Structure 1
Amino acid sequence: MVSFLRLAVRRIAVLPVMVLGVTLLVFVVLQFSPVDPAMTALGQGSSQQARAAWRAEHGLDDPVPVQYLRFLGQLLQGDLGMTAPPSQPVADRIAVAFPLTVQLTALGLGLAVVLAVIMGVTAAVNRDRWPDQVIRLVSVAGVAIPSFWLGIVLIQQFALNTSIFPTGGYTNPGDSFGGWLSTMALPAIALALPVAASLSRLVRTSMINELDRNYVRTATGNGLPRWLVLRAVLRNAMLTPLTVLGLRVAYLLGGAVVIETIFDLPGMGKLILEGVTGNDTALVQGVVLVIAMAFLAVNLVVDLMYLLVNPRIRTV
């Protein structure tokens, strides 16, 4: 436990440096944006004198390092700036949209992990037999299918043709859990299937490697029940898929932005689309920052989980 805590503190200590790097990267990239915040705020009919006065008032004429330090100071206070007129705090807009994106990502991740384990274990246990061949074919096809195209197909088949699910929109789970599940089902499936396909291949490979180890043959030869052996094999085999789970969560977060637009969900995807189409740099900057921070947090959790379930790495 002491070694785990030492490594965990080491991982956590690096996090502020990574956060600082993310804020710097986002800030610098948006400095090259051709969008004039003054024109966005005052309108295209505003005069050059008015726009110059607005830039001076908001410190946009200051040196870039000064602007960045001011930006960091505002972040520490939870201030992400104001949206384009009609002005609203960016933080308030994100506070409403981000929970929906988290819900969609969590549903997609849960479904992807369950499907990946079922497919991977089934393929490994039936190695080179027809279930394995079918699952490998399905996994290859799943990796090749873009989630946005899959979302469109799901809408056509299960919303337009059969009316089993709604074509889009969102229902708050506090108002109706059944309605919430109905509106989130198709987006979650569209997100989960490509991730499940890629993870299942890792689970299959890891399971096969573990099944070929001596301890499995010894346990089987001693008459241990098959389900008990497979449980131990699965626990050891999940270490490798766990290492790439953080990257898959990043894919889910990025994919959720696109899927939310297709299914008309008022999440972060809708916000970033609104910011891009409305030339609202503050809104885009705030959304990108929050998504990047969420990615860092998820990767930290995955790293800690890997340290927890893999005692061997604690001695490194």
Structure 2
Amino acid sequence: MFAFLRLAARRLVVLPLMLLGITLLVFVVLQFSPNDPAYNALGESASPEARAAYAAAHGLDDPLPVRYVRFLGRLAQGDLGQTAPPAAPVIDRIVTAFPLTMQLTLLALVLAVVLALALGVVGALYRDRWPDQLGRLLSIAGVAIPSFWLGILLIQEFALGLDLFPTGGYVNPADSPGEWLRSLALPAIATAVPVAASLSRLVRTSMVEELDRDYVRTATGNGLPRAVVIRGVLRNALITPLTVLGLRVGYLLSGAVVVETIFDLPGMGKLILEGVTNGDVALVQGAVLTIALAFLVVNLVVDLLYLVVNPRIRAV
């Protein structure tokens, strides 16, 4: 327990510093956007004098460090600014869209882990035989297929062709859990397959390396059931895949943002697309920061899972 708390304290100390660096990067990059906030707020008919007055009233003419400090002050109060007209708090838009993106990401994450474990473990146990060769072929195909293209294929085959799933849209789980799952099934598959394919190769490689170790032969020679031996091997073999899984969560989030657009899901992807289309810097800025924070938190959780998977790390 002490080691768990010590590792959690280390990560929690670093987390604010990383988040501060992300806010600085996002803020500075978006300042170079060609969109004029005064133009977006006042419209085409506004005179140059009116735009200059708007910029002065909102501090847009202040030096960049001053604007960044002011932005941090608002951010500390939970204020992400206002969207382009019709004006609305950015935080309200994010609170509405973010849960859907997290639902899709978590479904895709569970599906990716299940598929990766199934393909990787079976491939390691039947090394160089037809199940292993089939798993390798599937993993190569999965890595090569972009999530957006896979989403289009899934819509064509399973939505338009077989009419098993909707082509798009979202159903609230409180209204109908079954329809909610149907509305997110194809997007989750499209998001999960590339991640599952890359993870399965790591699981297989790690499993093969562990199966060749002396402790496995010793345990087998002492008469331990094969299921017990495999469970111990899998626990030790998950360290490397878990490390990569933490990084792949960012891919899942970005993949979910792209896939949401294809399936017309009102999540963060649609929000970012709306912000980019309308030149709404505040909306894009708030959405990107929210996704970055989610990525950091999920990586913190993955780091803590190391202690659960392998007790040897507790001594570090």
TM-score interval w.r.t. the shorter chain? over 0.9
Matched, 1:134 2:125: no
Assess if the C-alpha contact under 8 Å between 1:120 and 1:200 holds in 2: yes
- Secondary structure of the residue aligned to 2:175 is coil
- The residue number in structure 1 matching 2:29 is 29
Which residue does the alignment assign to 2:150? 150
**1:97-246 matched pairs, under 5 angstroms:** 97-246=97-246
Q: Note the C-alpha offset of 1:310.
A: 2.9
Alignment partner, residue 297 of structure 1: 297
State the shift of 1:301 in Å. 1.0
Q: TM-score, normalised by structure 2?
A: 0.98
Give the percent of matched residue pairs that are identical in Structure 1 and Structure 2. Answer: 74
- How far apart are residue 305 of structure 1 and its match? 1.3
Alpha-carbon contact 2:83-2:89 (below 8 Å) kept: yes
Deviates more, 1:223-232 or 1:173-182: 223-232
Q: How far, CA to CA, are the matches of 2:31 and 2:197 in structure 1?
A: 39
Aligned counterparts of 2:194 and 2:250: Cα–Cα separation in 1: 13
Residues 162-196 of structure 1 show CA distances to partners (whole Å, capped at 9, x for unaligned) of: 11100000000000011101100000000111111
Look up the SS of the partner of 1:166 in the other structure: coil
User: Normalising by the residue count of structure 1, what TM-score does the alignment of the two structures yield?
Assistant: 0.98
Q: Distance in 2 between matches of 1:232 and 1:6?
A: 26
CA offset at residue 312 of structure 1? 2.5
Q: CA–CA distance in 2 between the matches of 1:230 and 1:12? A: 34
CA deviation string 1:140-172 (max 9, x = no partner): 110010000000000000011111100000000
What amino acid sits opposite 1:117 in the alignment? L
In the other structure, the counterpart of 1:8 is: 8
Aligned-partner Cα distance in 2 for 1:78–1:198: 37
State the partner residue of 2:58.
Answer: 58
**2:280 maps to 1:280:** yes
* Match of residue 307 from structure 2: 307
Deviating above 6 A after TM superposition, structure 1's stretches of 4 or more consecutive aligned residues are none
The CA deviation at 1:55 is: 0.7
One-letter code aligned to 1:180: W
Return closer, same or farther for 1:226/1:307 CA change in 2, 3 Å cut-off: closer
Structure 1 residue runs without a partner (length 5+): none
How far off is 1:31 after superposition? Answer: 1.0
Deviations 1:250-292 (A, max 9, x none): 0000001100000000000000000000111110001011001
Match of 1:90 in 2: 90
Counterpart residue identity of residue 287, structure 1: A
Contact 1:4 1:308 survives alignment (8 Å): no
Q: Which amino acid aligns with 2:195?
A: V
Q: CA deviation at 1:6?
A: 2.0
| AA of the residue aligned to 1:161 | G
**Which blocks of at least 5 consecutive residues in structure 2 are unaligned?**
none
Q: Distance in 1 between matches of 2:97 and 2:119?
A: 33
Q: How many aligned residue pairs are there? A: 316
- SS in structure 2 at match of 1:244: helix
Q: Distance in 2 between matches of 1:129 and 1:45?
A: 71
2:136 & 2:57 partners in 1: Cα distance? Answer: 60
Distance 1:150 1:225 in 2: 41
The one-letter amino acid paired with 2:244 is V
Deviation at 1:215, TM superposition (A): 1.0
Task: Show the counterpart of 1:265.
Answer: 265
Tell me how far apart the structure 1 counterparts of residues 314 and 226 of structure 2 sit (CA, whole Å): 30
Give the Cα–Cα distance (whole angstroms) in 1 for the partners of residues 289 and 295 of structure 2: 10
CA RMSD, Structure 1 to Structure 2 (Å) = 0.9
Give distance in 1, aligned partners of 2:120 and 2:308: 23
Write the distance in 2 (CA, Å) between the matches of 1:12 and 1:286.
22
Structure 1 residue 240, shift from structure 2 partner:
1.0
Structure 1 Cα separation of the partners of residues 99 and 76 of structure 2: 21
Offset of residue 313 of structure 1: 2.8
Does the CA contact (< 8 Å) of 2:235 and 2:310 recur in 1?
no
Distance 1:4 1:175 in 2: 39
In 1, distance between residues paired with 2:308 and 2:60?
Answer: 47
